[in-house]
Structure 1
Amino acid sequence: MTGLTIDHGGAISVDPDALRDVARRLDAVASRCDDARAAIMRVHRIIVDTPGFSTHVDTVGLWSSGQHVARLHSECQETARSTLLMADAYEYVELRAEAEMLERSDPGTAQRLLRQADRLAASDDRIRAMADDLIAQWRAERFEGLAGNVVTPGLYDQLFLTVATVGVVSGLGKVRLGETLTGKADAVSVAPVKTSSPAGAPSGLAGALGRMPRTSGAQIAVEKYSFADGSTKFVAYLEGTQSVGWGGKEPWDSKSNLQLYTGQRSASYQSTIEALQAAGAQPGDEVDVVAHSQSGMVAAHLSMESGFDVQMQITAGSPVEPTLDDDQTIIQVRHSDDPVSSLAGGGSPEGTGSDDSVTLLTQGTPLDTVGDLAVDAHHLDTYIDTAKTADDLSDPRMDAMDEFWRELDAAEVIERTEYQAERVE
């Protein structure tokens, strides 16, 4: 484990309005510096104009202090101007990215955003160039961390880059606004295989990923949280790919992988819907999701097109990035040496979800061993190790997730059911 980064994802990880607030504060400091310089110069004039006074005061040092404060004034002003310019460049990128995202679903709003971006760029000739540099830097660094494999460098690096290229060139790694699954899923049967009553909600990111189904054959676990006021919430824990087969009884297989990645309704997605319904979830109910691998795609479409209200989703090694509303939070855990995660194409310049959404990125298997050939970096256990590292950091950007679990922990009753799904003739 090395070099864990936690940010909002995308090219823009700083709020332009926050930058403008910094610029205003810097400008206020500059104003105070100018007042201080003027006061020092007045005192200096009084001293030198008063006979005999200068013999008791270091007027040279006093004059130098005034010049130093004057330089601070100029530096603060210049920094404030540069910060405002950077804020405009960041906002320009955000406006263009949001317009591109809405081009299909809301062309009118997309055009309005483009006009707003153009007006912003017209205010300073440097904005477009700075924005282009930001995007170029993001594209160059989104797969940063891929290290040559010591055992089979050419094979592993080529595999990774080929898979990453698929995500970038095809555009399938980003689920765009308005994109819904098409076609009809294979018929499935979903049956409960174990029930339990957990003592509380998970604690931390590692605890959440560790709540996956434990019963042999189960791919789905649904926890129903019932509160004193009569309200209920649900959390679904969804396993990743269980079989490399094609179209057999196991819904979490290669067929479902391809279907979901290419925008088709899969048996695994259908199984999840039916399991949630069996657990008592109704349209409009809050259903939050913890998902690994293939199920990251299931979670994406649950949050974007199902009738459930998905407020929080946690994904590990997902092949896609969803386009979420600004009131939906997503915690994405990704390994830079995980080929499956690289199918997301490095995400998107605009990122996704609420301001509380974060992407955690690190190298899953930094030692480059023969185990890399078995895609250790994609295994759930490896992602849980990364989650433990993140939990130990106590990063404030994870506070929203921690608060989410604390709220669930207030439930009076927690009912957990694990389900096994199969394709049927």
Structure 2
Amino acid sequence: MPLDIGSGSVVAVDTRSLRDAAARFDVAASHFDGARERAWAAVHATPFPLDQGSVESIARDAATAADGARAIAGELRRMADVYEIVEARTRMSFETSRGRERIQAVRAWEERILAAEARSPGALAEADRVTREWEQDWAKELLAQSSLGMDGIPGFVATLLGAAALDLVRGFGRGVVGPDARLVGRADAVRVAGYGTRVDRPATGVADGLRRIPDTAHALIRVEKYTFADRPAEYAVYVSGTRTLARGGSEALDTGSNLGAYFGMPAASYEAVRAALRDAGAKPGATVHAFGHSQGGMIASQLALQREYRVATLVTYGSPVSVVAPPDTLSVTLRNRDDPVGTGLTHGGAPIAGGAPGSVVVHDTHDPGPELWSLGMDAHSRESYERMAEQVDASADPRLAAASDRFAALAEAERVESVEYAAERAGDPR
């Protein structure tokens, strides 16, 4: 099954790209108009006889091509307006949740919706349709696989339980996080220990980024320092997923951190990442490229949202939250449709990708059919996301060009030093 690459769960292509493409078709239409005019002018300007039928045919073909190019440009602009309405509604929901002080921002988004409908009558209804289709379909793979049942639970009962669980998750209202979200509360104190420094090579792609996430018993976090000849040093941080289902012990990436981070609190795992970056020399405001799988993706996302560092790149694999990244963060989200964490806990993910131009959301299905269902956790595994990431790196889709350019920029580093860190709660865990 081919990858589904888009600019969000609903938005297939970002509106800027659609409008740029429309402008190029306008230029093509003007060229065809010129060809038609030159064809007719040739009849009058040429002193010797011309085959008027052939000239008329050329002129008609040029006129038809011009009309076709204008029609495509119009349709591209209409879809841009449809997706702009989807984006405006998504951002309005974030502003509304922040209270009355954001009423002016809400009104500004409402005005953008009205303007889009005025430019493209029917765009509002089309936005309703594509959003409704997504809401009906996003959980299809999860529920289809649950229909096989579990040990001692018939398939139809498992499906009902699965649907009820997804509704419960939606009620939490935590799966989709806006760009202005801030952590609330106090985290456990942590301590980190680095395991030596080694000279390394730059990360080469999305799959290489996943492979650099620590997967050993002692290391939870990896930090790389990129030294350039012509610009300040940059850092890359790679964050592991949950290491234990227990909570309340010394382990920083446990279920307690998972729950705390999911509900918007500064978890021990988040504090551990900050401590590792500080130890590696990253000062507030430094440029950071953040990668994370599962809980690690959620922590990497929080790092981008809190703005302590300038997170230029955010790559997540099966994160339990879907963030609309800040406008200066290139966001690359990988999500299996049948992943109960990456899709189930995000309730299908944000309709839009947000972030810097070129940000993408990539969907795949781990098991195209339900016959291999195993509580869906295979779809959440590193191995599944590594296969998906390899396809991303091999893809020639132009929507991935910004990500490729980012890795090319990292390859300009004169020196790369990496350190892996262990992390644990300090003192008596709460």
**TM tier, smaller:** 0.7 to 0.9
Aligned AA (1:92): I
Q: What do the CA deviations read for 1:103-124 (whole angstroms, capped 9, x no partner)?
A: 4374423322322322342455
| Structure 1 counterpart of 2:129 | 133
| Structure 1 counterpart of 2:152 | none
Secondary structure at 2:374 match in 1: helix
| Structure 1 counterpart of 2:315 | 314
- 348, 351, 376: which is aligned to 1:349? 351
Partners of 2:236 and 2:298 in 1: CA distance: 16
Secondary structure at 2:292 match in 1: strand
Partners of 1:406 and 1:85 in 2: CA distance: 34
| Structure 1 counterpart of 2:188 | 186
The change in CA–CA distance for 1:167 and 1:36 in structure 2 (over 3 A counts) is same
Secondary structure at 1:235 match in 2: strand
Aligned alpha-carbon RMSD (Å): 3.4
> Aligned-pair distance for 1:157?
4.6
Aligned AA (1:127): A
The change in CA–CA distance for 1:159 and 1:289 in structure 2 (over 3 A counts) is farther
Q: What do the CA deviations read for 1:188-243 (whole angstroms, capped 9, x no partner)?
A: 33222x22414302222211111122442221122222334583222111110111
Partners of 1:39 and 1:19 in 2: CA distance: 30
The change in CA–CA distance for 1:169 and 1:31 in structure 2 (over 3 A counts) is same
Secondary structure at 2:322 match in 1: coil
> Aligned-pair distance for 1:34?
6.1
Secondary structure at 2:184 match in 1: coil
Secondary structure at 1:373 match in 2: coil
| Structure 2 counterpart of 1:48 | none
- 63, 73, 94: which is aligned to 2:87? 94
The change in CA–CA distance for 1:414 and 1:180 in structure 2 (over 3 A counts) is same
The change in CA–CA distance for 1:100 and 1:70 in structure 2 (over 3 A counts) is same
Q: Is 1:362 matched with 2:353?
A: no
- 164, 167, 170: which is aligned to 1:168? 170
> Aligned-pair distance for 1:25?
4.8
Question: 2:242 touches 2:255 (CA, 8 Å); kept in 1?
Answer: yes
Aligned AA (2:110): L
- Percent identity, aligned pairs only, is 30
| Structure 2 counterpart of 1:117 | 113
Of 104-113 and 266-275, the range deviating more from structure 2: 104-113
TM-score normalised per structure 2: 0.83
Higher-Rg member (1/2): 1
Q: Which has the higher contact order (CA 8 A, sep 6+)?
A: 1
| Structure 2 counterpart of 1:421 | 424
TM-score normalised per structure 1: 0.84
Q: What is the 5 A alignment of 1:136-285?
A: 136-143=132-139, 145-146=141-142, 148-149=144-145, 151-152=148-149, 153-154=155-156, 157-158=159-160, 161-192=163-194, 194-228=195-229, 231-285=232-286
The answer for unaligned runs of 5 or more in structure 2 is: 150-154
Secondary structure at 1:3 match in 2: coil
- 368, 377, 380: which is aligned to 1:378? 380
The change in CA–CA distance for 1:157 and 1:366 in structure 2 (over 3 A counts) is farther
> Aligned-pair distance for 1:263?
1.2
Q: What do the CA deviations read for 1:386-416 (whole angstroms, capped 9, x no partner)?
A: 2122223344433333333333332324132
The change in CA–CA distance for 1:416 and 1:134 in structure 2 (over 3 A counts) is same
